Structures are given as structure tokens and as C-alpha cells.
Amino acid sequence: MSNEESNFMEEMLDQHDYEEPQVGDIRKGIIVAVTPQGIIIDLGLKRDGLVPSSDLSKLEPEEREALKVNDEISVYVTNTDAPDSLYVSIHLAQLNQDWIDAEALMESGDIMEGEVIGYNKGGAIIPFGRLRGFVPASHLSELSRGLNDRQRQQKLAKMRGEKVPVKVIEVDRRRRRLVFSQRDAQKEWEDKRKEELLNDLHEGDILKGRVSGLRDFGIFVDLGGADGLVHISELAWYRIAHPREVVKVGDEIEVYVLNINEDSQRISLSRKRLLENPWDTVEKRYEQNQLVEGKITRIVDYGAFAEIEPGVEGLLHLSQLSRNQVENAREVVNEGETHLLRIVSIDPDRQRIGLSLRAVNAHEQIEWMAVREAEAEAQAAADEAEAAEDVEEEIIESAEDTAVEEVEETEADEADVETAESEAEEDEENVEETD
């Protein structure tokens, strides 16, 4: 044999592994035929591998459709006793690879994101490839201690469909156990997501977030990895006493990124920057000498401020409070009072409106007060009518409940009578049978 022929034979032997396969081996092969009985695979052995149709049925439809002649694929040897072919499994080879991936993930300590697809009394179920991993209740961040069984089940039910970060803490192929922990992953995941978010964020960005907390000084918004703060002064263009006046926990809102402090990792946000500033169109709604209602919001040394609409305040200077000399605004007005005022100046660029109480004449005051009294009386009458309707509905509901109870009692009495009659008849029959 020439050297060239010898080299050719060595190459052919390298391409084919004639070592007898064992059950449990993973082999790679080339699909040579797709038949109704299954798929035939060239494994480089004396016998071809056969993937039976029962194994193919365990694959997803799209996975089966993707299997084509000449494709290379890994298979798991399930039976070596047949003389003509080896029985192999694509499904088990994929499961084996999932176990290998799970072991690698546990060894690396990396975090993955999994979707909760179900739950039982002990915890949540999260898929990993074709495996079903389990997160014990003690390793779920959202399950606090002290919950009873019903509360725990309600919490778990709400988690269905939710994506959570987890770490692999146990892999046992023999017992088919794959265990995750959300608690171990949560803090590390949050820190990582926060770092990524801070790197991607820029001042001026507009984002959507979920209101995660309310405080007297503002709200916290979850931006999908980190919380940002919207100070109470940045919630609206008008003054609010508490954030609950404009938002509630769980609301989805748009926010504007004001500032990012990388040292403290604090994100300052604004809600009002994305709302229309009422001062931008104030000239379209107001003009000099116009009469307006104003609510006194603040009293200062030089006068008082009155809100004429949410976000638009005007100044009542001491000289505009009365025709008489006034040294303290509280001599004429108090915070929370509503007065009829006249606009004496408008400066939208500086966001200033000058107001006057002394410029409102007596006739205008009398007419305004009469209208307010009429509106108050109408509102009182409406409230009284609504209260009467509520009482009437309560009486009707009470009467209906009483009627239902009487019917139920009557039916119960009739049932008792029927039962007594039936029992009496049975007693008579028993007596006759005894006789």
C-alpha cells in the first residue's frame, strides 16, 4: 500500500468511530432520511441510528419541522440490542444538554431570568430549557415570613407569568432535581441592573416607570432596575399637599430625567416637565381688568398669593388689598379663603400676575356672593337628594333581604314538615312490617 493510500485510510478511520456505543452515550450524527417510522441518522458506525416517532412526538412542532436531511444533530443512545440499528433519542440528548447547562450555571454562579409558569404548596415552578426547576417558598423574595397557607397561595398565584432573577443552587440528575433561589439572586441582580441603567441613562431622557412608593417629600419610580425620585415640587405645576393627590402606588407614568448622581447612584426625575405648563398659555385665558376667583395660598410680608387655577398664582400686594392702609395681609385675608379679584397686570415671561381686591367694586362683590350662595344651596340640595336616595336604596335592600329570609324560612319549614311526614310514613311501614 502506498503512502497516499495509507493516509487516505487513516483519514477515513478518523471520520468514523467504530467503538461500540453504550446506552447513555451522546453521539453526533448526520440525518440521512426522514420516514414515517422515524429519522435515520448516520453515526459513523456500522449501524445507523433510528429516532422512533414516539421520541419525535416529544419535540415541539417547530423543532420537528426543522429536522432536515444532512443536518448534524446530537442523539442519546437508548438501546443497542437491535441487530440492524441503534435506537437513539433527540429528546433525551436535549434534556442531557439542559442538565449540563444547569450544572455549568450553578458552577459559574451566574444569574438567569426565569418566568414563573406554575406553583404548588412548596413554591414556584420555573422552566429551564426542557427541565422544570423549582424555587422553594423560603427562597422567594416576595413571600415574607408569617404568611398563612392561603396568603402564600395567593401571593404565588399573582407571580404566575412574572419574570424573576434566580440562581441555580442544586442540580441532581439522578433525582431529577433542579432547584433555584430568587433570594440569592435578587440583590446581585438589582445591583447589576442598576449599574446598567445608570450607564445607559442621560439627563433629558424620557422614560416610563411604575410608582413604587409614596412619601411626604415625593414619590419613588421603578425604572426597571433602579428607583428614581420625583420630588413633590416636580409632580405638578401647582402646589400639592401630598403626592397621593396626583398618583398612587402601581401607576405607570412618564418621567423626565433631571439629574444622575453617579457617586450616590441617585436619579432625580420630574413628572411636571412632561405636562403642559399653564403659564405658556396664560395670555389666552386671562386679560387685564378681568374678574377672577382666587384662593389665598400664602401670606407674606408684602401681601398674599392667590391661586386662580392649578399652577397659576398671582400676587395681591398690600397696596391692592384695601382702600385703607394695610400693614399685614391677615388684616384682610386668610389662607384658604376664596375672593373675587381683578387682574391688574400680566407678565407671562416672568410668570407673574398682579391681582387686586380693592379694584373690585361693591356691586361686583354683591353679585358674586349671591351667585356663590345660590351654587352652595343647589349643591346642598343635591347632596340631600343623594343622601335620601341612599337611604331609600338601603330600605329597599333591607326589605328585599327580609323577604328572602322569610321565603327561606318558609321553605325550610315546609321541608321540615315534608321530612316529618316522610319519617312518619316510614315508621308506619316499619310497624306494619313488624306486625
CATH, residue 181 = 2.40.50.140
Beta carbons of 141 and 159 less than 8 angstroms apart: no
Residue ranges making up the domain that contains 282: 278-360
400 lies in a domain?
Answer: no
314 lies in a domain?
Answer: yes
Same domain, 289 and 355: yes
Pairing of strands 26-35, 48-52: unpaired
Task: Give, in degrees to the nearest 5, the angle at Cα 317 between 314 and 321.
Answer: 105
The pLDDT assigned to 95 comes to 87
Same domain, 113 and 184: yes
Q: CB-based contacts of 9: which residues, under 8 Å, 6+ apart?
A: 1
Same domain, 268 and 285: no
State pTM to two decimals: 0.49
Strand partners, 341: 292
Same domain, 42 and 85: yes
414 lies in a domain?
Answer: no
408 lies in a domain?
Answer: no
Q: What is the DSSP letter of 274?
A: G
Helix (H, G, I), strand (E, B) or coil at 354: strand
List, as one string, the DSSP characters of 38-91: EEEEE-SSSSEEEEEHHHHTTS-HHHHHH--TT-EEEEEEEE---SSEEEEEHH
If one counts every other C-beta atom within 10 angstroms of the C-beta of residue 334, the result is: 11
Same domain, 235 and 287: no
Domain end marker among 360, 381, 398: 360
pLDDT 10s per residue in the chain (435 long)?
A: 455 544 544 554 444 445 678 888 888 889 888 888 888 888 888 888 888 988 888 888 888 888 888 888 888 888 888 777 788 888 888 888 899 999 999 999 898 999 999 988 888 999 998 899 999 988 988 787 777 888 888 888 888 999 988 999 999 988 989 999 998 888 888 778 888 888 888 899 999 999 999 999 999 999 887 889 999 999 998 888 899 999 999 999 999 999 988 778 889 999 999 998 899 899 999 999 999 999 999 999 999 999 999 889 999 999 999 989 989 999 999 999 999 999 999 998 899 999 999 999 989 989 999 888 888 888 888 888 787 777 767 777 666 555 555 544 554 455 444 444 444 454 444 434 433
Q: Domain tally for the chain?
A: 4
Same domain, 222 and 287: no
Average pLDDT, the chain: 83
Sheet holding 177-181, edge to edge: 112-115, 163-172, 177-181, 131-136, 123-128, 118-120
Beta carbons of 218 and 243 less than 8 angstroms apart: yes
401 lies in a domain?
Answer: no
What's CA 100's distance to the chain center, in Å? 33
Same domain, 166 and 210: no
Domain end marker among 244, 274, 304: 274
Q: H or E segment at 329?
A: none
78 lies in a domain?
Answer: yes
Same domain, 117 and 175: yes
306 lies in a domain?
Answer: yes
The pLDDT assigned to 372 comes to 86
Same domain, 268 and 284: no
The pLDDT assigned to 122 comes to 86
242 lies in a domain?
Answer: yes
Domain end marker among 311, 333, 360: 360
Same domain, 149 and 208: no
